[in-house]
A and B are shown apart, each in its own frame.
Chain A
Amino acid sequence: MITKEDVEHIGWLARIEISEQEKAEYMEKLNSVLDYFGQLDEVATEDVSPTYHVIDLHNVFREDVAAESLPQEKVLANTENKQEGAFKVPRIG
Chain B
Amino acid sequence: MVYENPDGVMIGLEIHVQLNKLKSKMFCGCSTDYHDAEPNTHTCPVCLGLPGALPVLNREVVKAAIKVGLALEGEIAEETQFHRKNYFYPDLPRGFQTTQYDYPIVSKGKVVIEGEDGEHEVGIWRAHMEDDPGKLVHIGSIEKSKGVLIDYNRSGMPLIETVTAPDMRSPKEARRFLDKFRNILEYLDVFDGNLEGAMRMDANVSVYGGTRVEVKNISSHKGVEKALLYEIMRQKNVIRRGGEITQETRHFDEARGVTIGMRTKEEAEDYRYFREPDLMPMKVSDWTPKIKETLPELPDAKRARFIEQYGIADMHAKALTSKIMLADFYEGVCKKGTDPKQAATWIADVLLGELNYRDLVISSYDGSTIGCINDKDHSIANSTRVADMVDLVALFTDGKISDRAAVEVIRTILDGEEEKTPLQVIEEKGLFKAEDDLVTKAVAEAITENEAAVQDYLGGAEKSLNFLVGQVMKKTKGTADAKTAREMLVKELKG
9 A-B pairs with least C-beta separation: A67-B29, A86-B149, A61-B59, A64-B60, A66-B31, A85-B39, A87-B150, A52-B281, A62-B56
Query: In residues 83-100 of chain B, which contact A (Cβ within 8 Å)?
Result: 86, 88-90
Tell me which of A52, A65, A66, A72 contacts B39 (CB under 8 A). A72
Query: In residues 51-93 of chain A, which contact B (Cβ within 8 Å)?
Result: 52-53, 55, 57-72, 75-76, 83-93
A selection of 11 A-B contacts at a CB cut-off of 8 Å is: A15-B88, A61-B56, A63-B58, A65-B23, A66-B29, A67-B24, A87-B90, A89-B147, A90-B147, A91-B148, A92-B136
Chain A at the B interface: mostly helix, strand, loop or mixed? loop
Q: What residues of chain A have their CB less than 8 Å away from a CB belonging to chain B?
A: 9, 12-13, 15, 52-53, 55, 57-72, 75-76, 83-93
Cβ A66 vs Cβ B277 within 8 A: no
Contact residues in A for B267 (Cβ distance below 8 Å): 9, 12
Cβ A62 vs Cβ B148 within 8 A: no
Contact residues in A for B152 (Cβ distance below 8 Å): 75, 87
Cβ B41 vs Cβ A87 within 8 A: no
Cβ B58 vs Cβ A62 within 8 A: yes
Given known pairs A87-B150, A90-B148, the reply for A76 and B138 (CB within 8 Å) is no
Q: Give the interface segment out of B42-50, B321-329, B424-432, B457-465.
A: B42-50
- Which of under 10, 10 to 19, 20 to 34, or 35 or more describes the interface residues of B? 35 or more
Given known pairs A64-B59, A67-B30, the reply for A59 and B148 (CB within 8 Å) is no
Cβ A9 vs Cβ B39 within 8 A: no
Minimum C-beta distance from B189 to chain A (A): 14
Contact residues in B for A57 (Cβ distance below 8 Å): 280
Cβ B148 vs Cβ A84 within 8 A: no
Cβ A59 vs Cβ B30 within 8 A: no
In angstroms, Cα B147 to Cα A92, docked, is 8
Given known pairs A52-B79, A61-B57, A62-B57, the reply for A87 and B24 (CB within 8 Å) is no
Contact residues in B for A85 (Cβ distance below 8 Å): 38-41, 151
Cβ A75 vs Cβ B48 within 8 A: yes
Cβ B40 vs Cβ A75 within 8 A: yes
Minimum C-beta distance from A70 to chain B (A): 5
Given known pairs A60-B56, A66-B29, A69-B41, the reply for A86 and B151 (CB within 8 Å) is yes
Contact residues in A for B151 (Cβ distance below 8 Å): 85-86
Chain B residue at smallest Cβ distance from A70:
B44
Given known pairs A15-B88, A52-B275, A86-B149, the reply for A72 and B30 (CB within 8 Å) is no
> What mask results when residues 7 to 45 of chain B are scored 1 for a CB within 8 Å of chain A, else 0?
000000000000000111000111111000011111111
- Residue B235 at the chain A interface, CB threshold 8 Å: no
Given known pairs A67-B24, A86-B151, A88-B149, the reply for A62 and B59 (CB within 8 Å) is yes
In angstroms, Cα B148 to Cα A18, docked, is 28
